Every structure is written in C-alpha cells, then in structure tokens.
Amino acid sequence: MKTNSCFIIAELSANHGGDLEIAKETVRAAKRAGADAVKLQTYTADTITLDAKLPYFKINHGTAWDGQYLYDLYKEASLPWDWHKPLFDLAKEEGLICFSSPFDFTAVDLLEDLGNPIYKIASFEITDIPLIKYIASKQKPLIISTGIATIEDIELAIETCLSEGNSDITILKCTSAYPAAPENANLLSIPDIAKRFGVKSGLSDHTKGIEGPVVAVALGATVIEKHFILNKNIGGPDAHFSLDEKEFKRMVDAVRVAEKMIGCVDYEMTEKKLKSRMFSRSLFVVNDVKSGDIITKDNIRSIRPSNGMHPKHYNNILGKKFTINVNRGEPLTPEMIENYN
C-alpha cells in the first residue's frame, strides 16, 4: 500500500447489478475517479449464512434491507467467484490494486490463487477469530473494520494477527449504519486507534457525503474506504449510500488537497516568509518632530511596514527625547532616541 499519501479504496461491494460488464466498467471508472485500489467481497450466500426462513435470519433492525432474509440478500449481492480473475486482471491493466474481503476459508484459498495482495476483514467478521487467524497466516497486509467491535474485540483481532507473525495491520473506524449519520461518525476515534493499539488507522465511511474522508485524513487516516457505484440507477443493496464516479473523484480531489494543506509542523523562516514580513508592523514617526521633542503616542505609532524598530520597544521609549529632526513617515531607529541602548 502507499505510504506517502492516504490509500483510497473504491469498494465495489454489491454495486455490480449482476452484470460482469458493469463490474468491469466500475473498475475503469474507479481508476478515472482517482482511486488507488478497488475492493471486492468474496462470498456466496451459502458460505456466509443459511437458507433458513427462521426469525433469526430475517433482517429487522431498522435498516434499508428490513424484511429480507439474509440468504436472499447475500445471494443478490454476492460477486460470482468466476468474475474475480477477470476483475483482478482488468484492475492490473488499469494500474489499480485489486483485493478482497473473504468471508470463509474457501474464499481465502480462492484469493490466494489469484495473488490477492491485501486482505480486508469486514466489520461483522471481526469476531471470527479462526478466519482472522487463517487470513493473517498468509502474511499479507491486513485491513480490519471496527463497526460492531468492542475494544476487547479489536485487541483480540490484533493479538490474533500478531500471533501469526503478521504485524502489517490497519484498523478502520467504521460506523455500521447504511447510511451512517454524520453525528455518529466519531472520527476522533481515528487518532485514538493508532495510539491505543499501536497500528495504522483509517476510515471505512458509510456517510453519504465526502466530508468524512477529508476530516479523517486531517486526523491522520492512512486508508479511506468508500462504496463506489458506476451509476446509482443500477440499484442494488448498497446503491443508496455509494458514491458515483463524479462524487468519488470530488472526494479524492478534496482528500489530496487536504493532504497538501496538512503538510508538516513548520516554523522555518523561508524566503517567502521573509518577504512577507516586510508588511508586518514596526514603529514609525507619524508627525514631524524636532531634536529635543518628547516621544509620545501622538508622534510615534506601530504601523505597517516593518522598516522601523520592533513594536515591543514602544512602551520603553515613550517619554524619551528625539536627538534629531525627523519628518513624518520615517521609520523610527535607535539613533533617533536620546540615551537609548
């Protein structure tokens, strides 16, 4: 992954409309929009849940998918496994990194055969310790979302990765609501994650706009993940909180500008700053004076530019005498002041 700038991921998720050509054009659009990577999800309805019409499997939690059974939702959303290779190959041609979130051991095996370079652990899989252990054993960089996680869940997931000798871990702040309300984003968690757990941190963003990623980068995010769709008219389970190409590009551009603005801690006096200091304030004579006149607030002032004495001397010289005649508009110098050193 990139180390010199935020790594921006376009999440394909279910935004393929069941059409490989749509999926391919989405990859191309992600490249045009400025993404660094495109991420897939590797599962089937059978590897992620059961085809059981029981209350446990019916969604009824105030989501856009309420009323559906998990099996039916995942059957619609899943990316056919035989699409993975053509999408990996296309991403490579486009100069994009392509990787995936596996949801069981067989998905990991498929991805290993494709040379998957990064593994993403989805929010709801953070408690699947056997799966995390198996993924970590592949010694690839790991990105883990925290949507439903407790501190203990995050600690255990990290410990599991470390136990396999895999320390390349990025933890993403994630709000598991689709879409997520801005007031529930709690982006201050991003720097806390990095400090608390000693890992890289970032954001998996489910809000509708582009503000979250920009704020996240300002808070130190090294990875941004955002759902991406070719055209919202395609529909599907994730369309309502995904960004289209124009929106995603606007987000990428805003993030890149934010990175430039963040810069680094800088107090160096550059040549440009020195030139600008010519417009800072200094002490000037503002009325004609004669030798022996008393220095008062009526004949000297702190004004722009900076040719005169530093304003910090103002109170110390009030009441002293001028040693020479000085015309209005001349910068005040120590030589003009009696007994000044």
Contact 190, 202 (CB under 8 A): yes
Nearest Cα residue to 9 out of 234, 182, 174: 174
Give the C-alpha separation, 121 to 285, whole Å.
Answer: 70
Give the C-alpha separation, 10 to 26, whole Å.
Answer: 9
Give the C-alpha separation, 226 to 12, whole Å.
Answer: 9
Nearest Cα residue to 254 out of 226, 215, 219, 290: 215
147 three-class SS:
coil
pLDDT in tens, the chain (341 residues): 555 699 999 999 899 999 999 999 999 999 999 999 999 999 999 999 999 999 999 988 777 778 889 999 899 889 999 999 999 999 999 999 999 999 999 999 999 999 999 999 999 999 999 999 999 999 999 999 998 899 999 999 999 999 999 999 999 999 988 889 999 999 999 999 999 999 999 999 999 999 999 999 999 999 999 999 999 998 888 888 899 999 999 999 999 999 999 988 998 988 888 888 899 999 999 999 999 999 999 999 999 999 999 999 999 999 999 999 999 999 999 999 999 87
Whole-model pTM: value is: 0.87
Identify the structural domains of the chain with CATH numbers, from first to last.
7-43+78-262 (3.20.20.70), 271-336 (3.90.1210.10)
- ∠ CA 320-325-327, rounded to 5°: 105
